[in-house]
């Protein structure tokens, strides 16, 4: 073909075809003969009635469609399995693509090439609702993608998406197929179209903002909306994407909201009304692909062609999405206006006795309650660490994440030294998580594996300043903290393509509460290391496990020292901290003498003139508030 789909997208508004199902159900087809007894399984018609499917494609191409979708909306193996057709997944999808390919080629000219989009629908099982496993869904979409590509599809279109986790799994399957064939998403583009219900969210509750943030890192050519509503109900969501999505935007609405008239479902918008609505999206929001979903016909597509053919996508002013992680429902910005990004620390088997006990007893409801309590206390993100010797950590992570994503509306930081444990959590979280953490302690191989997880699941990544040095792997000086951070940022971005703003550098908090001389300068070194990292990489996030600085002290002294230390770190450029939010005091609530003592401890100021200030002095001076 003379021109690629990506080239065409850059040059002109592309017209997608209209409804396949509407056209099929308008035909007089036999359930027993044409559907082979598989009522409503329209995908089997590519085998039994290829003439019907080809006729529908041809009608849309004659109407002026630039792109036609294969008759494979229900062609994933797990969906075909409902008709006992799972073993025919590859062949049915290959046939679907071949029929569309033949029709598209017959109508292509040098000036107007026609393209085949391999249609991949959502099926009837949602992974977030625990109706299907990641592995089964991955394999299902892998087989479908293989068949569509083998049949000649120019691109793969994942459409009518109702679940962000579902999208992630399908995208991973598509990318795996491309990799196996030595292809890239530049050669065979990946397109995603989500469905926003009349409630204003996807079926599982995700907002369009959450969807855009969760999918931003994936190599997808376009993002848009289709189905569920007419164009009027899509306007608010298209407006958001028009302002913030940095790639092609697609709009494929139904012909209005369906109405029941004399027992028949009728879609009210005529071709001219559809064109009028879509024109506003093109003019105001820079939409580059338009088409029709349920209730649309070749007449709708002809009207779109007559109105939009030859027009170039309108350049609109974009505002970059602010770096964020998301829950299943909403995004949370990495940089907070009036606070650091607070990561709740209490769901941690290594640091919370209460959480460990709840984990031992498998009191899942109490664990959810503990998470919700941290949200009420002001946490923006929830750290989850289930590493506990003698238990199946991956199983624990799966069990808790499945509950958290639906019952706790803040993003998750999945915290483990074990790749399998983190992956188990990622396979159950549709939002954009933060992985905690990568480092160079075991060399670049494990570091790279963590980066690959972040790429595969669209996650942010915490990186600790630890390297392979057998004598001092954990960086203690500001120089070492900065050097390791620089190495990690450069490798994560240049080798793996991760965004700097999605990296959280953890320069590592070491306790100054041990009484050992080697530890006295740890806090000051961390502050200086933080300052140097922040100055050199202003877009990177910097986080830490704050309370480790005061490990072993009495609770009142810990509260003062942690609070003062956090203020000093924030001034140096810290943007986030893993902390018990309710235990942090504003400086105005700290006694000036307690503040002074804490500062001298943090900066290891031990001049004799200070009267022997040290740990005993801090604990003694804070004893009155214990």
Name, in order, each residue with C-beta under 8 angstroms of 97's C-beta and a sequence gap of 6 or more.
70, 72, 116, 118, 147, 148, 149, 150, 151, 152, 153
Q: Which residues pair with 545 in a beta bridge?
A: 578
Mean pLDDT calculated for residue range 157-177: 98
Amino acid 391: pLDDT: 96
Amino acid 265: pLDDT: 83
Of 259 and 189, more confident: 189
Q: In this model, does residue 614 exceed pLDDT 80?
A: no
Q: What is the DSSP letter of 266?
A: E
Q: What is the pLDDT of residues 337-349, one digit of tens each?
A: 989 999 999 999 9
Amino acid 612: pLDDT: 41
Q: What is the CATH number of domain 5-308?
A: 3.20.20.330
Domain boundaries, the chain: 5-308
Q: What is the DSSP letter of 625?
A: G
Task: Return the minimum-mean-pLDDT range out of 432-441, 514-523, 580-589.
Answer: 514-523
**Residue 514 CB: number of other CB atoms within 10 A?**
14
Q: What is the pLDDT of residues 110-125, one digit of tens each?
A: 999 999 999 999 999 9
Q: In this model, does residue 106 exceed pLDDT 50?
A: yes
Amino acid 260: pLDDT: 83
Amino acid 191: pLDDT: 98
Mean pLDDT calculated for residue range 440-462: 97
Q: Which residues pair with 415 in a beta bridge?
A: 436
Query: Strand, helix or coil at 385?
Result: strand
Q: In this model, does residue 515 exceed pLDDT 70?
A: yes
Q: Name the one residue in this structure whose structure tokens are 């003379």.
A: 2
Amino acid 617: pLDDT: 60
Beta-strand relationship, 341-348 and 576-579: parallel
Amino acid 622: pLDDT: 61
Q: In this model, does residue 616 exceed pLDDT 90?
A: no
Amino acid 624: pLDDT: 37
Q: What is the pLDDT of residues 354-387, one digit of tens each?
A: 999 999 999 999 999 999 999 999 999 999 999 9
Q: In this model, does residue 193 exceed pLDDT 50?
A: yes
Q: In this model, does residue 465 exceed pLDDT 60?
A: yes
Amino acid 623: pLDDT: 54
Beta-strand relationship, 324-326 and 331-333: antiparallel
Question: What is d(CA 521, CA 543) in angstroms, rounded to the nearest whole number?
Answer: 19
Helix ranges (H only) for 419-477 are: 419-426, 444-457
Q: What is the pLDDT of residues 243-279, one digit of tens each?
A: 999 999 999 999 999 888 877 888 999 999 999 999 9
The per-residue pLDDT of the chain, averaged, comes to 94
């Amino acid at each position: 073909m003379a021109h690629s789909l990506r080239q065409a997208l850059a040059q002109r508004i592309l017209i997608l075809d209209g409804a396949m199902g509407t056209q099929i159900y308008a035909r007089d087809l036999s359930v027993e003969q044409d559907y082979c007894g598989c009522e409503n399984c329209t995908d089997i018609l590519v085998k039994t009635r290829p003439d019907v499917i080809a006729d529908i494609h041809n009608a849309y191409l004659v109407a002026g469609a630039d792109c036609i979708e294969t008759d494979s909306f229900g062609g994933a193996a797990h969906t075909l399995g409902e008709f006992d057709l799972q073993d025919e997944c590859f062949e049915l999808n290959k046939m679907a693509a071949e029929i569309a390919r033949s029709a598209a080629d017959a109508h292509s000219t040098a000036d107007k090439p026609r393209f085949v989009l391999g249609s991949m629908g959502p099926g009837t099982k949602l992974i977030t609702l625990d109706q299907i496993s990641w592995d089964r869904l991955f394999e299902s979409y892998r087989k479908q993608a293989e068949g569509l590509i083998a049949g000649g599809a120019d691109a793969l279109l994942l459409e009518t998406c109702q679940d962000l986790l579902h999208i992630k799994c399908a995208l991973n399957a598509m990318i795996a197929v491309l990799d196996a064939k030595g292809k890239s998403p530049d050669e065979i583009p990946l397109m995603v179209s989500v469905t926003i219900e009349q409630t204003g969210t996807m079926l599982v509750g995700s907002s369009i903002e959450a969807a855009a943030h969760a999918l931003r890192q994936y190599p997808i050519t376009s993002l848009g909306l289709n189905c569920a509503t007419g164009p009027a109900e899509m306007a608010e969501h298209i407006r958001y994407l028009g302002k913030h999505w940095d790639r092609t935007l697609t709009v494929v609405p139904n012909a209005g909201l369906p109405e029941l008239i004399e027992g028949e479902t009728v879609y009210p918008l005529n071709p001219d009304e559809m064109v009028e609505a879509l024109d506003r999206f093109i003019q105001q929001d820079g939409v580059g692909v338009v088409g029709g979903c349920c209730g649309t016909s070749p007449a709708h597509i002809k009207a779109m062609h007559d109105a939009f053919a030859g027009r170039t996508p309108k350049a609109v002013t974009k505002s970059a999405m602010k770096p964020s992680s998301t829950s299943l429902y909403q995004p949370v910005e990495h940089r907070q206006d009036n606070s650091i990004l607070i990561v709740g620390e209490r769901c941690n088997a290594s640091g919370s006795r209460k959480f460990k006990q709840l984990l031992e007893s498998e009191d899942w409801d109490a664990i959810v309650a503990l998470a919700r309590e941290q949200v009420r206390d002001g946490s923006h993100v929830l750290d989850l660490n289930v590493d506990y010797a003698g238990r199946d950590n991956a199983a624990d992570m799966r069990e808790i994440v499945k509950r958290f994503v639906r019952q706790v509306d803040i993003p998750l930081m999945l915290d483990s030294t074990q790749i399998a444990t983190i992956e188990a959590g990622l396979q159950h979280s549709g939002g954009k998580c933060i992985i905690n953490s990568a480092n160079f302690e075991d060399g670049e191989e494990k570091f790279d594996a963590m980066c690959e997880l972040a790429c595969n699941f669209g996650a942010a990544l915490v990186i600790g300043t630890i390297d392979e040095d057998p004598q001092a792997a954990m960086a203690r000086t500001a120089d070492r903290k900065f050097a390791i951070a620089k190495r990690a940022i450069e490798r994560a971005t240049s080798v793996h393509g991760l965004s700097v703003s999605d990296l959280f550098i953890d320069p590592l908090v070491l306790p100054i509460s041990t009484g050992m001389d080697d530890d006295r300068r740890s806090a000051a070194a961390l502050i200086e290391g933080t300052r140097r990292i922040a100055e050199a990489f202003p877009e990177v996030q910097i986080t830490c496990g704050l309370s480790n600085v005061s490990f072993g002290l009495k609770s009142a002294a810990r509260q003062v020292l942690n609070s003062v230390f956090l203020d000093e770190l924030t001034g140096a450029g810290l943007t986030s901290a893993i902390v018990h939010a309710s235990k942090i005091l504003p400086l105005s609530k700290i006694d000036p003498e307690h503040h002074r003592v804490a500062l001298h401890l943090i900066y290891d100021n031990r001049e004799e003139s200070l009267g022997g200030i040290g740990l005993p002095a801090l604990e003694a001076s804070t004893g009155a508030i214990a």
